[in-house]
């Protein structure tokens, strides 16, 4: 599990340690230098003789970068520090100089001993580097992107035609550290070396697209205090495996969970096939289908039972248009069971327009950004698709607050907002998964998961958000497995589910090999 702490949470953990004289910056900069040396070795075979440019802002983030630069200079790297502020971390600057590094500035220099260079010249230095360390801004960044001459430098380095390898120190400078927003120039990183724990902006879109590979370095901050919740979580294989319902010898199809799927119409029969197939292939005990295309469904999935009956979870909406009277009636009727008997439900596509006024967190909405914008607009918020894409967690949370439902917002990074402030950001899928019908498959996976864990949902409402994140993880991994490195179709993703789930459980040691 990868957890993200906010800047305030990090500062609260740092404060007593710094007061006690714990050398946090030494630890951070040492680990940073080790990672940069690793990059140099991997890319050039050796560390000595490489050229590194350190971009250093006026705070401790610049201090980390300068100290790391000094360590690299000590290993034979030609180091140039470019400072973006008149005052920078004094000890870091002295260390760079003492180790033989050279220093220039793009800011107004305070003393005569730093040569001022134009932004273009500093960017040209970066262009010739094997690696650039971005220590312009860390968790002390105020909103609105990188300002002043530092912003001009970040833009100029980012626009270089032959971009050097960029290592972000703690976070890529310019991202919204706590909310993942991007509102000005950001220096996209190839690698982010972050201290203590990930920060929300490293996991949340759109900033998460700027972070490259993320390495979390333990600098001894310990953990969050009792009862404090990480701001955002990203589940990994062992977490998903631990949440996946695995049958035992005494299980039968009803204890494993029955999924009722109300999907597809005569115009869109494929959605019914994909959603039911995904539910079957995710290990539901039984899948029932309600709708007008039962024959097509059974032709593809003979295991599916057509017609009403008891279910533990529902999948509403793939391929359903709300003006289809039959499906509309079935969904509205089934929602009564959801509200009265506590059956879980996945509400997708056309069914989002049929959502009752208020539901519980055992109902999971699965909109993409456009659908969430439409839903929120109906609920009185002023937001369009671009607005949702700019701040996905904020809007997913608002939808949770206004509807009571758990909200899974689909996208390149899938964001989940649920009860008790639960927030997940999953980036498991190849971009090839952005294909028609992929959402129907996700709905089926989640339906099977909810049916299998329905008894636990009502004891722990925040579990639903974790299950939604698990569904996104399995969906993404199934897409990778369906055709590694190439295009996938939704049916192939559904077909890859049994193997994906078996691998997941094996990898986590939940199943014997």
Ligand X SMILES: NC(=O)C1=CN([C@@H]2O[C@H](COP(=O)(O)OP(=O)(O)OC[C@H]3O[C@@H](n4cnc5c(N)ncnc54)[C@H](O)[C@@H]3O)[C@@H](O)[C@H]2O)[C@@H](O)CC1
Ligand Y SMILES: Nc1ncnc2c1ncn2[C@@H]1O[C@H](COP(=O)(O)OP(=O)(O)O)[C@@H](O)[C@H]1O
Instruction: Report the alpha-carbon distance of residue 1 to residue 430 in Å, rounded.
Output: 20
Q: Select the residue whose beta carbon is closest to ligand Y and give its number.
A: 439
Binders in 76-135 for ligand X, by CB under 6 A: 85
Any known ligand binding at 413?
yes
Confirm or reject binding of residue 440 to ligand Y (CB under 6 A). yes
With binding defined as CB under 6 A, does residue 437 bind ligand Y? yes
- 240 annotated ligand-binding residue: no
CB of 4 to ligand X, least distance (A): 14
| β-bridge pairing 363-365 and 406-409 | parallel
Q: Is 282 labeled as ligand-binding?
A: no
| Shortest Å, Cβ 212 to K ion | 12
Quick check: 29 binds K ion (CB under 5 A)? no
**466, 484 Cβ separation under 8 angstroms:** no
Residues in contact with ligand Y, shown as a per-residue x/- string from 472 to 501 under the rule CB under 6 A: ---x--------------------------
Kind of pairing between the strands at 232-234 and 2-4 = antiparallel
Distance CA 144, CA 181 (A): 9
Looking at the Cβ atoms of 410 and 453, the one nearer to ligand Y is: 410
347 is an interface residue for ligand Y by CB under 6 A? no
Contact predicate 474/282, CB 8 Å = yes
- Can you tell me the distance from the alpha carbon of 358 to that of 383, in angstroms, rounded to the nearest whole number? 20
Contact 416, 422 (CB under 8 A): yes
Q: Which residues within the stretch 276-315 sit at the binding site for ligand Y (CB under 6 A)?
A: none
414 annotated as belonging to a binding site for a ligand: yes
Q: Can you give the three-state secondary structure of 38-100, one letter per residue?
A: HHHHHHHCCCCCCEEEEEECCCHHHHHHHHHHHHHHHCCCEEEEEECCCCCCHHHHHHHHHCC
Least Å distance, CB 181 to ligand X, is 12
Should residue 60 be labelled a site residue for ligand X when binding is judged by CB under 6 A?
yes
Q: Which two tokens stand for residue 102?
A: 């050279």
442 binds ligand Y (CB under 6 A): yes
CA-based nearest residue to 457, from 402, 418, 484, 415? 418
Nearest to 319 by CA among 373, 278, 361, 284: 278
Residue from 200, 361, 392, 439 binding ligand Y (CB under 6 A): 439
Long-range contacts of 100-103 (CB under 8 A, 24+ apart): 100/73, 101/54, 101/69, 101/70, 101/73
Stretch that binds ligand Y, among 71-79, 106-114, 181-189, 428-436 (CB under 6 A): 428-436
| 414 near ligand Y, judged by CB under 6 A | yes
Closer CB to ligand X, 199 or 368, in the complex:
199
What does 312 interact with, of ligand Y, ligand X, K ion, none (CB < 5 to 8 A by kind)? none
Q: Is 271 annotated as a binding residue?
A: yes
Is the backbone peptide bond immediately before 99 cis, with ω within 30 degrees of 0?
no
Stretch binding ligand X (CB under 6 A), from 75-83, 142-150, 443-451, 458-466: 142-150
The answer to the question of residue 201 lying near ligand X (CB under 6 A) is: no
Cβ proximity to K ion: between 186 and 445 the closer is 186
Query: Is 411 annotated as contributing to ligand binding?
Result: yes
Q: Minimal distance in Å, beta carbon 427 to ligand X?
A: 22
Report the 10 Å Cβ neighbour count for 127: 16
Footprint (CB under 6 A) of ligand Y, residues 227-246: none
Specify which residues 386 forms β-bridges with.
none
Closest CB to ligand X among residues 147, 322: 147
177 sits near K ion (criterion: CB under 5 A): no
Tokens of residue 456, six digits: 């636990």
Dist CA 179 CA 144 (whole Å): 12
Give the Cα separation of 461 and 310 in Å (integer). 22
Name the residues that contact ligand X, by CB under 6 A. 14, 18, 24-25, 28, 57-62, 64, 85, 137-142, 144, 146-148, 150, 169-170, 195
Known binding-site residues equal: 60-64, 134, 170, 173, 271, 319, 368, 410-414, 439-440
Name the residues that contact ligand Y, by CB under 6 A. 349, 368, 410-412, 414, 429, 431, 433-434, 436-440, 442, 475
Name the residues that contact K ion, by CB under 5 A. 134, 169, 173
């Amino acid at each position: 599990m990868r957890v993200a702490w906010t800047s305030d949470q990090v500062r609260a953990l740092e404060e007593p340690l710094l007061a006690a004289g714990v050398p946090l910056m030494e630890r951070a900069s040492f680990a940073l230098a080790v990672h940069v040396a690793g990059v140099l070795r991997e890319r050039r075979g050796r560390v000595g003789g490489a050229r590194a440019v350190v971009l250093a802002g006026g705070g401790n983030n610049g201090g980390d970068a300068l100290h790391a630069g000094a360590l690299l200079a000590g290993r034979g790297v030609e180091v140039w520090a470019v400072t973006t502020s008149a005052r920078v971390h004094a000890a870091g600057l002295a260390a760079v100089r003492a180790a033989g590094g050279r220093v220039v500035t793009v800011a107004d220099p305070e003393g005569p001993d730093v040569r001022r260079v134009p932004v273009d010249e500093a960017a040209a230095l970066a262009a010739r580097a094997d690696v650039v360390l971005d220590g312009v801004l860390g968790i002390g960044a105020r909103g609105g992107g990188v300002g002043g001459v530092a912003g001009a430098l970040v833009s100029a380095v980012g626009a270089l035609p032959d971009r050097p390898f960029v290592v972000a120190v703690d976070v890529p400078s310019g991202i919204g550290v706590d909310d993942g927003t991007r509102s000005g120039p950001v220096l996209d990183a190839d690698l982010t070396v972050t201290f203590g724990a990930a920060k929300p902006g490293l996991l949340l879109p759109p900033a998460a697209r700027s972070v490259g590979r993320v390495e979390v370095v333990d600098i001894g901050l310990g953990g969050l205090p009792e009862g404090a919740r990480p701001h955002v979580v990203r589940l990994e294989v062992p977490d998903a495996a631990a949440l996946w319902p695995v049958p035992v010898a005494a299980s039968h199809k009803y204890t494993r969970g029955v999924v009722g799927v109300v999907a597809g119409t005569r115009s869109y029969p494929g959605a019914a096939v994909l959603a039911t197939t995904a539910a079957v292939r995710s290990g539901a005990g039984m899948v029932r289908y309600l709708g007008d295309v039962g024959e097509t469904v059974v032709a593809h999935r003979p295991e599916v039972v057509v017609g009403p009956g008891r279910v533990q979870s529902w999948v509403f909406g793939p391929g359903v248009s709300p003006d289809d009277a039959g499906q509309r009636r079935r969904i509205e009727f089934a929602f009564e069971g959801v509200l009265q008997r506590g059956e879980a439900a996945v509400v997708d596509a056309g069914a989002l327009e049929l959502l009752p006024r208020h539901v519980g967190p055992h109902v999971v909405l699965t909109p993409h950004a456009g659908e969430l914008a439409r839903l929120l607009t109906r609920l009185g918020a002023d937001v369009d698709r671009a607005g949702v894409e700019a701040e996905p967690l904020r809007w997913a949370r608002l939808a949770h607050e206004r509807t009571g439902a758990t909200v899974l917002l689909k996208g390149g990074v899938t964001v989940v907002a649920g009860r008790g402030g639960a927030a997940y950001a999953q980036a498991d899928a190849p971009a090839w998964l952005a294909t028609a019908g992929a959402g129907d498959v996700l709905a089926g996976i989640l339906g099977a998961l909810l049916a299998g864990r329905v008894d636990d949902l009502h004891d722990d409402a925040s579990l639903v958000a974790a299950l939604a994140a698990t569904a996104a993880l399995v969906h993404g991994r199934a897409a990778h497995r369906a055709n590694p490195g190439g295009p996938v179709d939704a049916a192939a993703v559904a077909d890859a589910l049994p193997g994906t789930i078996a691998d997941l459980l094996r990898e986590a040691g939940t199943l014997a090999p």
